[in-house]
Chains A and B, each alone.
Chain A
Amino acid sequence: MTAPLKNLRVLDLGWVMVGPMSGRYLADLGADVIKVESSQRIDPLRTLGPFKDGRPGPERSLAYHFINAGKRSITLDISSKSGQQVVRALARECDIVIESFTPGVMERLGLGYETLKADNPGLIMVSTCILGQTGPAAGTSGVGTLGAAYAGVSFLIGWPDRPPTGPYSAWTDSVAPRFVVASVLAALHRRTQTGEGCYIDVSQSEAGVQFLLPAYFDYAANGHVPQRAGNAPAPLRAPSGVYRCAGEDRWVAIDASRAEHWRALAEEIGSPARDPKYATLVSRLRHREEVDAVVEAWTSTLTDHEVERTLQSMGVPAHVLCHVEDLDVDPDLASDVYLQPIEDPVVGSVRIRGATFHIEPSAPERARPAPRIGDSTDAILQEVAGMSPQDISALREAGALQ
């Protein structure tokens, strides 16, 4: 058995995260993903950490390895006429093209869908940007922090008595690739049956709204505008939230709302948790702050891992709020083969994640390094575009391969 997309080729013109992460999903599924880069204007992701040993450098970013694992890289100056011709030649031989420029850029470069489709009628092409390719705000440039603001999540995160803090990192950058890839794979299934290609437009903020549907429906149906809830986002459950543990900035999430879970937790805590006034769910909701204080008085005497182990051994939902060092040594992630070793000439031996799901017997690829800038330029031009060494030299002399 081979990986599901083993015979597919993808031209990845994306940059930063949503486009390239979409390409990574397809690479994990076995596609030959060609990442187009410019050595003159590198993917900004190469300037973002974490960096190996904390020292920045375009080939030292683990974020870049994470998001571009398993791809091949070609350097092209796509602002040049000859660079654009190379893109067309490559797109002619590809099944899927991904791009994440500001709307209109591909058309200005002579690389819009209609042009590429004329060369390759079965092509599936996806464009993704913050607010989509159409509409009055279509020209908006941005990254996932802006997408998060437009989707409505940034407003929802933080404390009711303070300005919003927003989510961790560029939220829609992690949400939108799912909708890009689902759309591409569905289009691929249809193409297998009918031969028909497709153009797909994914707005990253609209994708973000999908992950907030219950909050949206609360407004649409009830007229209620959901607000920030701090660290206790489950108003119908008690105790439920984040509790302080021994040590610096150590926390545990606990949910002991169900009767049997509360009984077990109260038994472990002892007095005053065993007070009959906390015995029912409704009484715990009515005395929520008191109950939280009782729980935290207990958790703060233990380490977060001790709380997790103790409560999980009794079947009570609990987990530490992981710090980066916890993720690195987590035995359950290890069992899932989540982090896999890669070897790279610059960063050496490090670990990045493999595919995010298991498929058997057809198996996704194991984790691989991301390409170095332009590491397969000549091979791609020869194998995919069918160019001769003389053609490639001419392009190089013309400055198109930088």
Chain B
Amino acid sequence: MLAGLKVLEVSCLHSMLAGQILADLGADVITIEPPQGGPGRREGPFLDDRLDSGASLTWHALNRNKRGITLDVDTPDGQDIFMKLAASADVVIEPAPARFAGRLPSRALHCVLRPFSKAGPKSRYAFTDQILVASTGAPTYTGDADRRPVLIPVPQAMMETGAEAALGILGALAARDQGQGGQRIDVSARVAAMMSAFALPYIATANDKPPVRGVGRAPVVGVDIPSVYECRDGFVLLSITFGAFAGMTQRLVQWLASCGKVPEALLDVDWVNYPVDVQEGRASTASLLSIIEGLTGLARTLTKQQIGEAAQKQRFFAAPLMDMADVASFDQYEARSLWVETGLPDGRTVKAPARFAQFSNFRISQRLPAPSLSEHTREVLADLGFAKQEMQALYHHSII
């Protein structure tokens, strides 16, 4: 797809997924780290409790299909080498404050990743991933009503920003393909992460009521409809929906009735208009409470897999709450060839969920595992014409 596209990624936490998406789609990506290693190498979890530059599993997860070099881009030699690489590069990705603004070839697509806005009051804010996530609004409305807000225990702003940067770069590439020349792309991590807040930013301007943490939108007056149920080996999601999705509830009731968990009379309930019917006294909440009771009882007798298969077969809204062991063994992912084999620094091989899309005439593959520290420095500098002794001098001065 992107064969021939040359990308230089000045590695930071927010750049890694951007570079990997482009690399998976075929681009030649060189990730550039400082001589002591990029920040991604200090991100847990770590391999077998190792404490070295190859131990970070976050690094392994997000740097597939890239070549890696070390370079101190704040030294004159580092800048010179970077500019030599940039002379033939199509894309440069770097964190703010941008070192290379205005210095790149006119055809370059220059992407700068910022935590907040470019020049607003928070542009110089100190940040971590969870600070950025907090700023989106999503955590305020996530969790149980009687406890404090909760966060996803995997850094999400770095994922959101990386993905959004890939889109900005590919959009800019389309402009260049149309003859519009080089482009500057500016991505705010906070804005990228606000995708996870869905419509929260529009509730105030709409003059509508905000949600309440731990409480559903309560479409049926007086009933707190659970969505997560305990089953024999974990938890499952079972959704009772109305209106446009009422057909799903109808089929859910059919499943419950076929298992003897609700009376057949519930098959005749109009689930499309049920919330309004309850509100206006044409229906009672007894039918809904009967479904919830039936689901609670039935779920406890079944496994995650059994409920997932029933939902797939009978087409109602339910899914196992899979943990990472379930993800790794899910036959659907296996059958679709989601996985590619990838090597770890300890010599073992694991499967990585690399194929985020399946194409009729392209296949995401693993050409390279995530690079070890400075793995391709010699190769890349040799291509630029540096002599062996010059490279040794650069190493001696901690520039590479």
When A335-B121, A336-B118 are in contact, do A51 and B206 touch as well, CB less than 8 Å? Answer: yes
Pairwise interchain contact B336-A66, C-beta atoms closer than 8 A: no
Q: Does B389 reach chain A (CB closer than 8 Å)?
A: no
Please name all residues of chain B whose beta carbon is closer than 8 Å to the beta carbon of A332 when the two chains form the complex: 116-117, 120-123, 190
Pairwise interchain contact A350-B202, C-beta atoms closer than 8 A: yes
Q: Does B12 reach chain A (CB closer than 8 Å)?
A: no
Pairwise interchain contact B351-A220, C-beta atoms closer than 8 A: yes
Interface 9-residue window, one of B42-50, B73-81, B92-100, B390-398: B42-50
Q: Does A108 reach chain B (CB closer than 8 Å)?
A: no
Q: Does A331 reach chain B (CB closer than 8 Å)?
A: yes
Q: How far is the CA of A146 from the CA of B167 in the complex (A)?
A: 25
Pairwise interchain contact A174-B196, C-beta atoms closer than 8 A: yes
With beta carbons under 8 angstroms apart, the residue of B153, B203, B319 that contacts A228 is B153
A180 to chain B, nearest CB (A): 8
Pairwise interchain contact B202-A163, C-beta atoms closer than 8 A: no
With beta carbons under 8 angstroms apart, the residue of B142, B170, B186, B355 that contacts A167 is B142
Interface 9-residue window, one of B255-263, B326-334, B377-385: B326-334
Pairwise interchain contact B200-A327, C-beta atoms closer than 8 A: yes
Q: Does A165 reach chain B (CB closer than 8 Å)?
A: yes
Pairwise interchain contact A66-B186, C-beta atoms closer than 8 A: no
Interface 9-residue window, one of A233-241, A267-275, A378-386, A390-398: A233-241
Please name all residues of chain A whose beta carbon is closer than 8 Å to the beta carbon of B195 when the two chains form the complex: 174-175, 178, 356
List 9 tightest A-B contacts by C-beta distance, closest first. Answer: A335-B120, A328-B204, A253-B134, A44-B244, A357-B168, A213-B61, A185-B170, A362-B175, A4-B175
Q: Does A94 reach chain B (CB closer than 8 Å)?
A: no
Known: A53-B206, A165-B143, A255-B128. 20 other contacts (CB 8 A): A47-B244, A48-B199, A132-B332, A132-B358, A145-B237, A157-B143, A174-B198, A178-B166, A185-B173, A202-B356, A217-B350, A222-B57, A226-B153, A233-B151, A318-B126, A333-B190, A336-B116, A356-B195, A357-B187, A360-B184
Pairwise interchain contact B139-A165, C-beta atoms closer than 8 A: no
Mark A225-269 against chain B: 1 for CB-CB distance below 8 A, else 0. 111111111111100111010000101110100000100000000
Pairwise interchain contact B164-A178, C-beta atoms closer than 8 A: yes
A242 to chain B, nearest CB (A): 6
A171 to chain B, nearest CB (A): 7
Interface residues of B in 1-39 (CB under 8 A from A): 1-2, 5, 17, 21, 25-26
B286 to chain A, nearest CB (A): 25
Q: Does A284 reach chain B (CB closer than 8 Å)?
A: no
Pairwise interchain contact B117-A251, C-beta atoms closer than 8 A: no
When A149-B322, A253-B134, A350-B205 are in contact, do A200 and B357 touch as well, CB less than 8 Å? Answer: yes
Please name all residues of chain A whose beta carbon is closer than 8 Å to the beta carbon of B185 when the two chains form the complex: 357-359
Q: Does A29 reach chain B (CB closer than 8 Å)?
A: yes
When A159-B147, A164-B228, A336-B188 are in contact, do A136 and B60 touch as well, CB less than 8 Å? Answer: no
When A47-B243, A166-B237, A324-B137 are in contact, do A187 and B121 touch as well, CB less than 8 Å? Answer: no
Pairwise interchain contact A221-B47, C-beta atoms closer than 8 A: yes
Instruction: Count how many pairs of residues, one from A and one from B, have CB atoms less than 8 Å apart in the complex.
Output: 532
Q: Does B369 reach chain A (CB closer than 8 Å)?
A: no
29 A–B contacts, CB within 8 A, in A order: A5-B174, A25-B167, A52-B208, A62-B202, A140-B315, A145-B237, A155-B323, A158-B143, A168-B198, A179-B21, A183-B359, A190-B2, A198-B359, A202-B356, A211-B156, A211-B163, A214-B58, A216-B328, A221-B48, A226-B45, A233-B154, A236-B44, A253-B133, A318-B126, A319-B125, A319-B134, A332-B122, A333-B190, A362-B172
When A137-B312, A324-B200, A335-B119 are in contact, do A179 and B324 touch as well, CB less than 8 Å? Answer: no
Pairwise interchain contact B164-A357, C-beta atoms closer than 8 A: yes
When A44-B245, A146-B237, A357-B185 are in contact, do A320 and B134 touch as well, CB less than 8 Å? Answer: yes
Q: Does A277 reach chain B (CB closer than 8 Å)?
A: no
Please name all residues of chain A whose beta carbon is closer than 8 Å to the beta carbon of B104 when the two chains form the complex: none
With beta carbons under 8 angstroms apart, the residue of B163, B321, B324, B332 that contacts A154 is B321
Interface residues of B in 142-177 (CB under 8 A from A): 142-144, 147-156, 159-160, 163-168, 170-175, 177
Please name all residues of chain B whose beta carbon is closer than 8 Å to the beta carbon of A52 when the two chains form the complex: 206-208
When A242-B139, A324-B210 are in contact, do A134 and B120 touch as well, CB less than 8 Å? Answer: no
Q: How far is the CA of A210 from the CA of B139 in the complex (A)?
A: 20
With beta carbons under 8 angstroms apart, the residue of B130, B138, B204, B311 that contacts A234 is B130
Please name all residues of chain A whose beta carbon is closer than 8 Å to the beta carbon of B359 when the two chains form the complex: 183, 187, 198-201
Main secondary structure of the interface of B (DSSP, over half): mixed
Q: Does B105 reach chain A (CB closer than 8 Å)?
A: no
A396 to chain B, nearest CB (A): 25
When A200-B359, A215-B154 are in contact, do A131 and B332 touch as well, CB less than 8 Å? Answer: yes
Q: Does B65 reach chain A (CB closer than 8 Å)?
A: no
Q: Does B320 reach chain A (CB closer than 8 Å)?
A: yes
B336 to chain A, nearest CB (A): 5
Please name all residues of chain B whose beta carbon is closer than 8 Å to the beta carbon of A206 when the two chains form the complex: 333, 336, 338, 353, 355-356
B244 to chain A, nearest CB (A): 4
Please name all residues of chain A whose beta carbon is closer than 8 Å to the beta carbon of B331 when the two chains form the complex: 135-137
Pairwise interchain contact A215-B153, C-beta atoms closer than 8 A: yes
Pairwise interchain contact A154-B135, C-beta atoms closer than 8 A: no
Please name all residues of chain B whose beta carbon is closer than 8 Å to the beta carbon of A279 when the two chains form the complex: none
When A217-B61, A324-B203, A361-B180 are in contact, do A312 and B126 touch as well, CB less than 8 Å? Answer: yes
Please name all residues of chain A whose beta carbon is closer than 8 Å to the beta carbon of B352 when the two chains form the complex: 213, 216-217, 220
Pairwise interchain contact B140-A251, C-beta atoms closer than 8 A: yes
Mark B299-323 against chain A: 1 for CB-CB distance below 8 A, else 0. 0000000001101100101111111
Mark A128-143 against chain B: 1 for CB-CB distance below 8 A, else 0. 0001111111111111
Pairwise interchain contact A335-B117, C-beta atoms closer than 8 A: yes
- Give the number of chain A interface residues (Cβ < 8 Å): 160
B4 to chain A, nearest CB (A): 9
Q: Does A212 reach chain B (CB closer than 8 Å)?
A: yes
In the complex, what residue of chain A is closest to B184 when comparing beta carbons?
A: A360
Q: How far is the CA of A183 from the CA of B171 in the complex (A)?
A: 12
With beta carbons under 8 angstroms apart, the residue of B25, B44, B315, B361 that contacts A186 is B25
Interface residues of B in 79-93 (CB under 8 A from A): none
A155 to chain B, nearest CB (A): 4
With beta carbons under 8 angstroms apart, the residue of B121, B172, B191, B209 that contacts A338 is B191
Q: Does A156 reach chain B (CB closer than 8 Å)?
A: yes
Pairwise interchain contact B183-A362, C-beta atoms closer than 8 A: yes
A216 to chain B, nearest CB (A): 5
Pairwise interchain contact B174-A29, C-beta atoms closer than 8 A: yes
With beta carbons under 8 angstroms apart, the residue of A162, A183, A230 that contacts B25 is A183
Please name all residues of chain B whose beta carbon is closer than 8 Å to the beta carbon of A321 when the two chains form the complex: 134, 137, 139-140, 149
Q: How far is the CA of A234 from the CA of B152 in the complex (A)?
A: 10
Q: How far is the CA of A226 from the CA of B326 in the complex (A)?
A: 12
A37 to chain B, nearest CB (A): 13
Mark B208-234 against chain A: 1 for CB-CB distance below 8 A, else 0. 111001100100000000011010001
Q: Does B69 reach chain A (CB closer than 8 Å)?
A: no
Pairwise interchain contact A253-B131, C-beta atoms closer than 8 A: yes
Pairwise interchain contact A4-B172, C-beta atoms closer than 8 A: yes
